[in-house]
Chain A
């Protein structure tokens, strides 16, 4: 195993963990409910580790990414439903991330928002066109590591460690009304979804094929997923803590990324603000690229087209035209005046609905000794796989009723 590759893989997984949906939901969860939702971050992290590891292992053994398996195991009809829903969620998430990049840049220069959207769109398309896959992963993943500033801010603010420790165990706080309990459940579902976003599994397994992983890379996959995702989840935990420690007492419920960055400015002045803004740019731009590419990966894999950044655009022309179309559609959604934060709320909630449809075929293949041979799921992976499938199914069934009952999380 190449140590440099392992190190970069871990850092990339960590830096690519946070996107605008997770940022806003985590900080607001902390501002509204204190530390009490920290256990959801822990639970979600174990879930994404279980399925991320499975997706990487299946890709390394069979050379096939998730959407090949969805079609193979789910059949054409169920697969088409999943593909349609996943594509809609990818476009919405990509739109939200493009809008969020524009909002972040607007903090640096007060140009019109729509102009920043167009610039963000062009920069993202050019990056995907020009950069090889590995460099896309590294530039945006490593840039996203600047978000570690939020971890430092959370620690410097002086957390109540006893309460943090207690909140990492499953708990439901005492709240004033049934509406508050519903809001708590809504945030629990949304936070789970934002950590276990389905595009992360699609992108991770497609990336494993792009990087030509083989069964000998399974150990690398395991370490990257376990260490990288745990470190990435620390960023999510720190955002909940900042919400609780900084925004909650001030009765602020941050809706914009720029407001979240004020917590870094309060501790470290202009330098802190700049690091936070740069970190958010890389994290959101990375997520926009991942969702844009995922839209094309999924469709190409479902219909059996040549795909991948390892092929020249003319050799995978329908794949190339599809990711261009996803970016164009996403930019149009945002240019039409839709608020990126509202878009992200809907994309996060609808994401959880497709999680079980994504995970079940993956679990069935990873459990199948006939196709996985010696690399079939062990007892732990099997048990955790079924537990998390049950958890995501319950969350999927509850997501839309909770969205309606809480008026989109407004209480």
Chain B
């Protein structure tokens, strides 16, 4: 493997994801792979959110986590990645990719508080 090659586990999984404005919009919790006969596996999407990270937990912990945080999961097509560096940067805004919905929902409620 060349030095420039991307190591999916080392360089992508568990790395912060930022949108086109550098706004944090999650962490890569899992990667969806596609099997191409004769060529092996290729990554097709990033999976983010409680539904994705809960699969990495023991069953009893996943049940508690599901109760606490729900099981929403976002799928970002691999083609939406602008570059992979210290963070995984996306080509579009978080809202366009269906990310950060919880922050927008709570943000709308908080905006009624003076100083928010």
Residues of A within 8 A of B (CB): 62-64, 68, 71-72, 75-77, 79-80, 129-130, 300-307, 312-318, 320-321, 371
Interface string of B77-115 (1 = CB under 8 A from A): 000000000110000000000001011111111110101
Q: Is the CB–CB distance between B86 and A314 below 8 Å?
A: no
Q: Is the CB–CB distance between A71 and B27 below 8 Å?
A: yes
Residue of A63, A77, A321 near B106 (CB, 8 A) is: A321
**How far is A153 from B4 in the complex, measured between Cα atoms in Å?**
60
Q: Is the CB–CB distance between A76 and B100 below 8 Å?
A: no
Residue of B16, B26, B102, B113 near A64 (CB, 8 A) is: B16
Interface string of B11-33 (1 = CB under 8 A from A): 00011110000011111010000
**How far is A79 from B109 in the complex, measured between Cα atoms in Å?**
31
- In the bound complex, residues from chain A placing their C-beta under 8 Å from that of B17 are 304
Q: Which of B17, B25, B108, B116: most chain A Cβ within 10 A?
A: B116
Closest B residue, CB atoms, query A77: B56
Q: Is the CB–CB distance between A314 and B111 below 8 Å?
A: yes
Q: Is the CB–CB distance between A320 and B110 below 8 Å?
A: yes
Q: Is the CB–CB distance between A304 and B16 below 8 Å?
A: yes
Q: Is the CB–CB distance between A307 and B15 below 8 Å?
A: no
**How far is A321 from B102 in the complex, measured between Cα atoms in Å?**
12
Given contacts A72-B14, A302-B27, is CB(A317)–CB(B103) below 8 Å?
yes
In angstroms, how far is the closest chain B Cβ from the Cβ of A67?
10
Given contacts A129-B115, A318-B106, is CB(A76)–CB(B24) below 8 Å?
no
- In the bound complex, residues from chain B placing their C-beta under 8 Å from that of A320 are 110, 116
- In the bound complex, residues from chain B placing their C-beta under 8 Å from that of A300 are 24
Q: Is the CB–CB distance between B106 and A130 below 8 Å?
A: no
Closest A residue, CB atoms, query B109: A317
- In the bound complex, residues from chain A placing their C-beta under 8 Å from that of B26 are 303-305
Interface size on B, as a range, is 20 to 34
**How far is A317 from B116 in the complex, measured between Cα atoms in Å?**
9
- In the bound complex, residues from chain B placing their C-beta under 8 Å from that of A315 are 103, 107
**How far is A296 from B17 in the complex, measured between Cα atoms in Å?**
18
Residue of A130, A301, A316 near B115 (CB, 8 A) is: A130
Q: Is the CB–CB distance between B27 and A313 below 8 Å?
A: no
In angstroms, how far is the closest chain A Cβ from the Cβ of B84?
13
In angstroms, how far is the closest chain B Cβ from the Cβ of A187?
36
Q: Is the CB–CB distance between B25 and A317 below 8 Å?
A: no
Closest A residue, CB atoms, query B15: A72
Apart from A304-B24, A320-B110, what are 9 other A-B pairs with CB-CB below 8 Å?
A: A62-B86, A129-B115, A302-B27, A305-B24, A314-B107, A314-B111, A315-B107, A317-B107, A320-B116
In angstroms, how far is the closest chain B Cβ from the Cβ of A80?
8
Closest B residue, CB atoms, query A71: B14
Q: Is the CB–CB distance between B115 and A313 below 8 Å?
A: yes
Interface string of B52-77 (1 = CB under 8 A from A): 01001100000000000000000000
**How far is A76 from B25 in the complex, measured between Cα atoms in Å?**
17
27 cross-chain CB contacts under 8 A: A63-B86, A64-B86, A71-B27, A72-B14, A72-B15, A76-B53, A80-B57, A129-B115, A302-B27, A304-B17, A304-B26, A304-B48, A305-B103, A307-B24, A313-B113, A313-B116, A314-B108, A314-B110, A314-B116, A315-B103, A317-B102, A317-B103, A317-B105, A317-B110, A318-B106, A320-B110, A371-B86
In angstroms, how far is the closest chain B Cβ from the Cβ of A265?
40
**How far is A304 from B56 in the complex, measured between Cα atoms in Å?**
17
Q: Is the CB–CB distance between B14 and A76 below 8 Å?
A: yes
Q: Is the CB–CB distance between B116 and A318 below 8 Å?
A: no
In angstroms, how far is the closest chain A Cβ from the Cβ of B52?
10
Closest A residue, CB atoms, query B29: A76
Given contacts A76-B56, A130-B115, is CB(A318)–CB(B103) below 8 Å?
yes
Given contacts A63-B86, A129-B115, A312-B116, is CB(A317)–CB(B56) below 8 Å?
no
**How far is A303 from B50 in the complex, measured between Cα atoms in Å?**
9
